[in-house]
Each structure stands twice: as C-alpha cells, then as structure tokens.
Structure 1
Amino acid sequence: MDSDVARDPLRLVLIIGSVREGRFAPVVAEWFLRRARVDGAFDVDVIDLVDTPLPADLVVTDAVREYRARLAAADAFVVVATEYNHGYSGALKTAFDSAKHEWRAKPVAFVSYGGLSGGLRATEQLRQVVAELHMVSIRETVSFHQAKKRFDADGEVDDGAAIDAAERMLRQLAWWGTALRTARAADSYPG
C-alpha cells in the first residue's frame, strides 16, 4: 500500500439536501464549509442538490453518471439536512437512491437544522438509510435548533455547542475517512 494514502487530504463531499424555494440550507452549509476548508485533513467538494438534476424515477442520465463519479471519488461525506414534517427531504432520498456502490465503506456525518428538533429526527432517519448503503455514520452531529435565530447577518453563530460539535465531528470524520480509505486501498470492500 502507498504510504501517501494515509497522508493525502481526504476528498470530502458536502451534500446540500434541501431544494425548497427560500431554503436556509446555503447559510448552514457555508458556515460548516468555512470550518471544513481550513482543516488540512480535507479537500472539499460541494454537491448542491438544487443544481444537481437527479430524476425521481431513478433513471440513469448523464447528470446521474456525473454525480456518481463525484461520489466515487469521495473519501467521506457530510450531509446538510433540514427537517420537513419530522423527516428528511425527498431530494435527499433521491440523492441516496441514485447511487449504490459509490457510498460503500465510506463515512458520513450530518449537519442538521430546523425548528425545535434542529433536524435531529431527519438525521436519525438518515442513519438508517446510510447503514443500508454500507456507510459508517459518524456519531457526532451538528444541529441547529431554531436555526434562523442562531445565525447572524454574516452567517456566523455564537453557539459554543455547535462550534465544538463541528470540530469534534471533523476529527471523527478524518479518523474514519483515513481508516476506511486505507482499508479500501488494501482490500476491496466485500459488500
């Protein structure tokens, strides 16, 4: 195995899971991206589902092939998820269902936001989905309750718990990302 595999920055793909008009997702995503991009462990790519035409009937198109290629190149994922009616968005479900092997043996972490629950119900449902896809769900989660009240005009938060959770989540994601990338390089995942 190449020793550079463990030292090279991890290819982190951040998926913005809301496509609703007037969505708050870009504010939350940009806040997290600022933290991830200064972390030397990651080379960050962003997939915003509002700009990614994935057919709901799961037919394979050129856009789907391009999307799958970006997923295949990833070592780790972060999903920015809002909560709609106690669940996650349909666009996010389509995003997960549009690929299969590209997800396997890779870690995923969640940044959620919403009203009183902060998107945690959506995150817990997503953990079931990613387990079926053979992904490793990172324990630490960043969650913003009453999200629109948490961010200032510059897109920053004065929420020590969220800032601390983001730092811990990135460390856990880097550990799992490196471990799983090393394992995939040594031996194909048997799933």
Structure 2
Amino acid sequence: MARKPLIALIIGSTRPTRFADKPAQWMLKQARARGDMDVEIVDLREHPLPFFAEVASNARMPSKDSAAVRWQETIGQYDGFIFVVAEYNRSITGALKNALDQAYVEWNRKPFTAIAYGSTGGSRALEHLRTIGVELQMVPTRAAVHIGGSDFMAIFPMGGNKPIEDIEAGLLPSAKAALDDLAWWAKATMAAKAVDAAAATETAA
C-alpha cells in the first residue's frame, strides 16, 4: 500500500506581530481532518536564513552555508507544500522569497497550494508565488484559500479580532478544493518519481 503524502505547511511570515498563525492553524486542522495526507508545520522563524549569497543554486553546486543546507534537508523530506501567504506590498514576504531561493532541487516536481490573506485576499502575492513555483519546477494548484475584504478585517487583530471559525463557512469549499488538488498532485508526482527511481535502478543493475 502506497504511503500517504507528507506535506509541509510553511508559515511564510516571521514578524513578531504576524497574523499568520491564525490561518495556519485553521488550515492545518482542515488538512489533518482528511486522512489522505500527513501534515506538519514548518515555521520560517525556526529556520533563520541569511540572504542568499551562494555562487549558484544547489541545482548547480552544493550550498556552503550550513543554515541553507539544513533548510534544504528539511524541505527535501516533503512530498508537497501548503504555504501561508501574507501579502506585503503586492507580493510575498521577503522571508518567504529568500527561503524559496535557498533551495532548488528540493522543490522540484512537488505540488503546492496556499492559504493567502490581505485586503484582496492575498491574490497578488499568491500569483507571484505561483510564478516563482513554476521556475522552481513545482506544480501550483489552481484552487487556494483567500481571506480578504470584510472577512479579513473581521478576524484581523487590528480589526474585529474574531475567531476564524466566524468566517469559515465561506472558506471551507475553497479549502476542500485546494486540498483535493494538492492530494491528487502529490500522489501523481510521487508515483511518477517511483517509476523514475525503479527505472534508474534497473539501468544501473
């Protein structure tokens, strides 16, 4: 029996006053309730990375910085990703962009979805993330969760600061669609990699 995909839920903001934990915990709950994937939080606060300063990406040569190598080893074990996306000035956070740049081969041929938030539901930041993901040879899902407008202000600490459950009726359909897509693509890419690995073993024998 094939194993379940192992998914990292990556919190993409590191600010002390970040809002990200509320949507991260909600999305984690939705993913873990499904039973078709194993999900773990990967918090960028726990992976302090220098600004990318390698000669090239690790697709061309091994990284020298020990923090970058540790980060690569961490994300390399996962079959797919859920990004918690804050929109800063119409893009993703600097911390998340740097984390993406610090690896390459570990992202390849793996799917991702997202829960994004901001005044327009984090849509502009998520589009940037999808473009970056394509360059990293990832598989971005069409479906994602967006928290914006009055819903965002209702749960934002500087707004109503209500629990996210107050608005979840409007989020649950998109969360299901996003996680359905992620599970399908994770299983598909895992199966394809298994075929490639078997072929490589047979060739080497």
**TM-score (normalizing by structure 2):** 0.83
Task: Identify the residue that residue 181 of structure 1 maps to in structure 2.
Answer: 190
Shift of 1:75: 0.7
Match of 1:11 among 6, 9, 17: 6
Task: Identify the residue that residue 57 of structure 1 maps to in structure 2.
Answer: 52
Task: Identify the residue that residue 181 of structure 2 maps to in structure 1.
Answer: 172
* Residues 150 and 159, structure 1, Cα contact 8 Å, conserved in 2: no
Match of 2:74 among 39, 53, 70: 70
Shift of 1:9: 1.3
Match of 2:135 among 104, 118, 132: 132
Shift of 1:57: 3.0
**TM-score (normalizing by structure 1):** 0.89
1:66 is paired with a residue of what secondary structure?
helix
Note closer, same or farther for the CA distance 1:157–1:177 as it changes in structure 2 (3 Å cut).
Answer: farther
Counterpart Cα distance in 1 of 2:103 and 2:7 = 17
More relative contact order, 1 or 2 (CA 8 Å, 6+ apart): 1
Counterpart Cα distance in 1 of 2:65 and 2:20 = 26
Aligned Cα root-mean-square deviation (Å): 1.7
* Residues 155 and 162, structure 2, Cα contact 8 Å, conserved in 1: no
Q: Which has the larger radius of gyration?
A: 2
Task: Identify the residue that residue 84 of structure 1 maps to in structure 2.
Answer: 88
Structure 2, unpaired ranges of 5+: 55-63, 198-205
Match of 2:171 among 144, 162, 171: 162
Identical aligned pairs, as a percentage?
Answer: 37
Count of residue correspondences:
182
Shift of 1:150: 4.0
Structure 1, unpaired ranges of 5+: none
Shift of 1:155: 4.0
Match of 2:103 among 99, 103, 125: 99
Name the structure where strand makes up a greater proportion of residues: 1
Counterpart Cα distance in 2 of 1:15 and 1:169 = 15
Note closer, same or farther for the CA distance 1:157–1:65 as it changes in structure 2 (3 Å cut).
Answer: farther
Shift of 1:68: 1.0
Shift of 1:28: 0.7
Deviations 1:151-178 (A, max 9, x none): 7644424343311100111111100000
Counterpart Cα distance in 1 of 2:175 and 2:112 = 13
Shift of 1:134: 0.4
